[in-house]
Amino acid sequence: MANRNLDCHYGCPVEATLDVLGGKWKGIILFHLLNEKRRFNEFRRLIPDITQRILTLALRELERDGIVERTIYPEVPPRVEYEFTEFGKTLKPIITLMRDWGAEYRKALIKTRQIAA
């Protein structure tokens, strides 16, 4: 009989985590927020393959989920910065582990010559 605590049906913790971090771009956005606040155009430079629309949508979703906060400064032109919320900061170890795992995975692929160095 399956352990019900490991069942992953609607509402399980893994599903909730993947809902917040899911997709190609959210993890990358959060990675770039690990050490400092970022402005929208900084993300565009750091992640050149992301479209403006997708970046906007991802940031809005992360803000809606309470992971990122957006601060608008009353300047001309307005300056907008994004940073982790206090709750969002709890994801930092997860993002760091994902980075570390990805680096090891790339090394393993390079060793087996499945990808170019």
Instruction: Find the range with the poorest average confidence among 9-23, 54-68, 93-107.
Output: 9-23
Whether cis (ω within 30° of 0) applies to the bond prior to 77 is yes
- Phi then psi for residue 80, to 5 deg, are -120, 130
pLDDT in tens, 34-90: 999 999 999 999 999 999 999 999 999 999 999 999 999 999 988 999 999 999 999
Asked if 84 contacts 71 with a C-beta cutoff of 8 angstroms, the reply is no
Rounded CA-CA distance 26/57 in Å is 10
- Provide the whole-model pTM: 0.82
